Structure 1
Amino acid sequence: MKMKEEKFYTARGYELLDKDSSTLTPSMEDYLEMTYRFTLDKPYTRISDLAAALNVQPPSVTSMIKKLAEMGWVTYEKYGLVVLSAKGREMGAYLLERHSIIEEFLKLIGVKADMVLEQTEKIEHYLSCETVQSIKKLLQLFEQQPGLRKELQEVQGQ
């Protein structure tokens, strides 16, 4: 089989190609998304809240929040509150929307309920904004045409 003239990379290779110093890592995205989730109810969150929600130790949260603060995503005072900056709120909203879109897509295609969250967490960091928007449009199509969902379920044998 003859291969196309495309350049292939490992998953890590693609990460490195897309990386610059202002890029959020997957872990940073997780912290920012969770911070945003907490700030939907109140304008701030605490290190202990993030540690419990993300199943990590408070010193790990403090370290990450300091990095996010240096990048301008949050403000943080030692032993104080974590508050999203304007760009942090905007990014947090996007990250939560992206998470919801991917989660809904995985449910649509029949991923088992007990695997949806883990699979969403693994996938969400590696899709471009354009891909997420394409998935969103597909979900909207299935929403507008309920017969399509039924057809898909029949094909899947559900």
Structure 2
Amino acid sequence: MTTIDFQLERDAFGRLNLTDAAGTVHHNVSPVRAFPVQAPDEGLALVNGDGKEVAWIDRLDDLPPAVAGLVREELSGREFMPEIARIIDVTSFATPCTWTVETNRGRTEFVLRGEEDIRRIGPEALLVSDTHGIHFLIRDQYALDKHSKKILDRFM
């Protein structure tokens, strides 16, 4: 665990406030990930209400547990990117079509407009966008079950 040169705490309204080494208080700060998919726990900025960076975190795991907990709590309330664990069914292999998937947040359905809404974001990872702009992450397409891979291959 590294030492940090700031303090982070919630105020009475539930907002994060950061006090830097000089004693300046930055109200209502928000954590922003530099690499939300490839390295979600590395490279985070704490930005103020104007979007100006007031602190940098190299690795979330290097923070004291209480501070890391506040940052993780704030991130979980702001981010929504379900991870697809299994593709259960698709209504058609032509787009648009409805996908039924199992995610880390439960079972859901979404409409895929076209194959271009499935994007590679690394050697194994894919980002699937639905018609509402919600992004679903497939962290490792090669780790999916055989049925899911077969469906996915039809769209790639």
Fold-level match, TM-score > 0.5?
Answer: no
Greater helix share, structure number: 1
Give the TM-score taking structure 1 as reference length: 0.22
Give the TM-score taking structure 2 as reference length: 0.22
RCO greater where, 1 or 2, for CA within 8 Å and sep 6 or more? 1
Greater strand share, structure number: 2
